[in-house]
Amino acid sequence: MRALKPGLVRAVVGAAIGAVIGAGSLILAGIVGMEITDGEILGLGYLLALIGFLFGIGAFRFWLTWAVGREVNIEEEHAAHGTAGDWRRYFLFTTDHKVIGVQYLATAFTLFLVAGSAAMLMRFELAQPGLVLGKEAYNEIFSTHGAMMITVALISIVGGLGNYLVPIMIGARDMAFPKTNALSYWLLPLPILLVAINPLLGGFDSGWTAYPPLSQQANLGQQAYLLAFVTVGVASILSAINFLVTVFRMRASGMSLMRMPIFVWALTVTSVLGLVATSVVAGAFTMLLFDRVLGTSFFRASRGGDVILFQHLFWFYSHPAVYIMGLPGLGAILEIVPVFARKPLFAYPLAVLSFISIGVLSFMVWAHHMFVSGMATFFHIPIMFTTELISVPTGIVFLSALGTIWMGRLHFKVPMLWVFGFIWAFLIGGITGVFLADVPTDLTLHDTYFVVAHFHYTIVGGAIFGLFAGTYYWFPKITGRMYSERLGKLHFWWFTLAFNATFLPMFWLGIEGMRRRVADYPPQLGGVNLWVSFAAFNIFLSVAVFVFNIVRSWRRGPQAEANPWRAQTLEWQTASPPPIQNFDHIPTVSSGPYEYGGGLGVPAEGRATP
């Protein structure tokens, strides 16, 4: 009866049953003569499949037991926490935050490879003027690339490193709501799969922004994307609540807010953004779904709807979302700098304040995506101001990083290399952002490759460089083994050079007038595009080095010590990997997180008194 235990097998069966009931009943209704659209079949089929999947994986069983008033089987609940060293727990509804963190990381990196492959197809089409794959295929590929990479940037650091590390860094045994935590992970596989198979449903060609009316006339694949996006949104909201309660209620004694590691602060602000903003876009996408499936007219101009309204709602989330992607990366970077510079984090209170200010301001800048959309002219002025203003708190991140590095004792281990790469990339992203914030220059740059280059420098620079830095830095903690320093350095240099060789020329292409989201371009841009494609393929190859390094080191890398970096934050004061309950004894915290150089603090070993 093993197969009938909650697990992946039962989840797949549950999903299939749900899909059959949902889609089947509507198909039957269609056969008996009711007017049923493909959209309705997909919608109900997906919804019931998702519920079936969650039931099958066991997401609701403890809550249901409790709801019907039965005694919860303590042994079973304990088992749901997983057994150390058992690989099967990564494929189960496991409530241990460390397992969930690894699940998120593995999912994110897998998705990163798939979306990266889509990017390779794009660069294949763009390598020469003329068409190879064709315009329709190109539009569908870049839409899928965008949708997946956004998901990677949203979930990788928050869901992966955040889940794994935040409870340990504040001295807690788990997240506040372990079952909700597992639920928010297990909400993801089905929508991700749905986006991955959207070409079977006709693909979607309106980009990840899904502006109506284009998205209203697009194929069924478009609807798959909308359904998936809303589901991922629900998962984000659940995880945001979980982080906030964890951080505010479960800190070890002595861990005052201003003693929290900066990474925890970044995740806290990120969670506030996720909690507040995500519901807006989920609402907008639901309205768009209703327009497609139920015949409403929220965004149908011909029937009194407003297409610009969608853009306001969309960007009201999606600009804060840029910081949901970026802030965790900034936090990871600032977490790593002091350790490898052997100095306290420079201007820590100001950095905390800057994260909070970024969070607040990020809600007031959304309309800079709409400078040429036809919104009211006067609105350009305040939005230009707030957009430029947000560069002040963002600049403080550079102040903290540079101030820490200056006069430090720098150890150029792989994580520190990624820190330097991050600072360069994020700096280019920040500076070029000013050109897009300024309305006069944006009028010419809007919707060109300048924008493409800019947001890759900010999001790859912020989220992906931060993700790589963090993955290398915490790899010994998570796996108990050390990665290969040589392969790590190869990955860093190859990736960073290829990344810059890919995206720096795109600024020039944009200035020369190459538009975003086109499959073809004037012949005189052919040379540079060929170079860009060549460089982009190198990015992909360099990631293969990373994957090889991680897989091999996890299986048979040298054993890592508990604290190989001589770091002072709590996660390094427990074993590598940490025991199921994280600490043998919950530590008491007696000083700030970065008391390097003696100073006021105490030596690392004595810091966290058991």
Partner 1 sequence: MTPPRRHLWIAAAIWAVLSIVGAVLVAGIQIIPVIASREAGIENSAFVLLAVLSVPVLMFVVVGLAYSAIWFRANGDEADGPPIHGHRGFQAAWLGISFALVIGLFAYGAAGLVDIRGAQTADFEVQVSAEQWAWHFTYPSTGATSKELHIPVGQRVHIVINSDDVIHSFWVPAFGIKQDAVPGRTTEIYVTATVAGTYPGLCAELCGFGHTNMRFTTVVSNRAALKAWLRKQKPGSEGSQPPPSGSESAS
Nearer to partner 1, 319 or 343 (CB): 343
- 415 touches partner 1 (CB under 8 A): no
Tell how strand 588-589 and strand 608-609 pair up: antiparallel
Q: Cβ 262 to partner 1, closest distance in Å?
A: 13
**Rounded to whole angstroms, what are the CA distances from 552 to 226, 311, 548?**
37, 45, 6
Q: Cβ 593 to partner 1, closest distance in Å?
A: 12
- 217 touches partner 1 (CB under 8 A): yes
Q: In whole angstroms, give the CA distance from residue 350 to residue 333.
A: 16
Q: How far apart are the first and last CA of the chain?
A: 44
Nearer to partner 1, 448 or 582 (CB): 448
Q: Contacts with partner 1 in 89-148 (CB under 8 A)?
A: 135-136, 139
Q: Contacts with partner 1 in 373-402 (CB under 8 A)?
A: 373-374, 377, 380-381, 384-385, 388-389, 391-392, 395-396, 398-399, 402
Q: Which residues contact 72 (CB under 8 A, 6 or more apart)?
A: 62, 65, 66
| Locus of tokens 């790899």 | 475
- Near partner 1 by CB under 8 A, which window of 12-20, 102-110, 212-220, 491-499? 212-220
Q: Cβ 443 to partner 1, closest distance in Å?
A: 5
Q: Cβ 486 to partner 1, closest distance in Å?
A: 18
Nearer to partner 1, 36 or 399 (CB): 399
Strands (E), 222-371: none
Question: Considering only residues 83, 253, 444, 581, which one is a binding residue for partner 1 as defined by CB under 8 A?
Answer: 444
Nearer to partner 1, 579 or 603 (CB): 603
Nearer to partner 1, 408 or 577 (CB): 408
Structure tokens, 166: 């935040």
Q: Cβ 32 to partner 1, closest distance in Å?
A: 35
Structure tokens, 180: 């909700």
Q: Cβ 577 to partner 1, closest distance in Å?
A: 25
- 362 touches partner 1 (CB under 8 A): no
Total of residues contacting partner 1 (CB under 8 A): 87
- Near partner 1 by CB under 8 A, which window of 87-95, 191-199, 419-427, 548-556? 419-427
Interface characters, 485-524, with partner 1 (x: CB under 8 A) = --------------------------xxx-xxxxxx----
Contact criterion met (CB below 8 Å) for 328 and 161: yes
Q: In whole angstroms, give the CA distance from residue 10 to residue 14.
A: 6
- 222 touches partner 1 (CB under 8 A): no
Supply the DSSP symbol for 589.
E
Contact criterion met (CB below 8 Å) for 482 and 558: yes
Supply the DSSP symbol for 492.
H
Nearer to partner 1, 401 or 463 (CB): 401
Q: Cβ 562 to partner 1, closest distance in Å?
A: 17
Supply the DSSP symbol for 171.
T
Q: Which residues contact 88 (CB under 8 A, 6 or more apart)?
A: none
| Beta-bridge partner residues of 481 | 559
- 6 touches partner 1 (CB under 8 A): no
- 297 touches partner 1 (CB under 8 A): no
Q: Contacts with partner 1 in 303-332 (CB under 8 A)?
A: 305-308
**Cα dihedral 16, 18, 24, 29 in deg (nearest 10):** -170
Q: Contacts with partner 1 in 49-68 (CB under 8 A)?
A: none
Nearer to partner 1, 107 or 219 (CB): 219
Q: Contacts with partner 1 in 546-575 (CB under 8 A)?
A: 566
Q: Contacts with partner 1 in 591-610 (CB under 8 A)?
A: 595-601
- Near partner 1 by CB under 8 A, which window of 244-252, 326-334, 405-413, 572-580? 405-413
Q: Cβ 497 to partner 1, closest distance in Å?
A: 16
Q: Contacts with partner 1 in 7-36 (CB under 8 A)?
A: none
- 38 touches partner 1 (CB under 8 A): no
- 221 touches partner 1 (CB under 8 A): no
Q: Cβ 328 to partner 1, closest distance in Å?
A: 21
- 201 touches partner 1 (CB under 8 A): no
Question: Considering only residues 82, 320, 329, 403, which one is a binding residue for partner 1 as defined by CB under 8 A?
Answer: 403
Amino acid, single-letter form, for residue 605: E
Nearer to partner 1, 263 or 449 (CB): 449
Q: In whole angstroms, give the CA distance from residue 567 to residue 339.
A: 6
Contact criterion met (CB below 8 Å) for 244 and 237: no
**Rounded to whole angstroms, what are the CA distances from 208 to 136, 214, 441, 488?**
15, 12, 25, 32
Max CA separation in the chain (angstroms):
80
The total number of residues shown for the chain amounts to: 610
Structure tokens, 94: 């496991």
DSSP for 472-491, please give it. Answer: HHHHHHHHSBPPPHHHHHHH
User: SS3 of 564, please?
Assistant: coil
Question: Considering only residues 420, 468, 475, 503, which one is a binding residue for partner 1 as defined by CB under 8 A?
Answer: 420
- How many Cβ atoms sit within 10 Å of the Cβ of residue 67? 9
Question: Considering only residues 342, 363, 530, 580, which one is a binding residue for partner 1 as defined by CB under 8 A?
Answer: 342
- 256 touches partner 1 (CB under 8 A): no
Structure tokens, 222: 């478009």
Q: In whole angstroms, give the CA distance from residue 396 to residue 419.
A: 15
- 302 touches partner 1 (CB under 8 A): yes
Contact criterion met (CB below 8 Å) for 291 and 298: yes
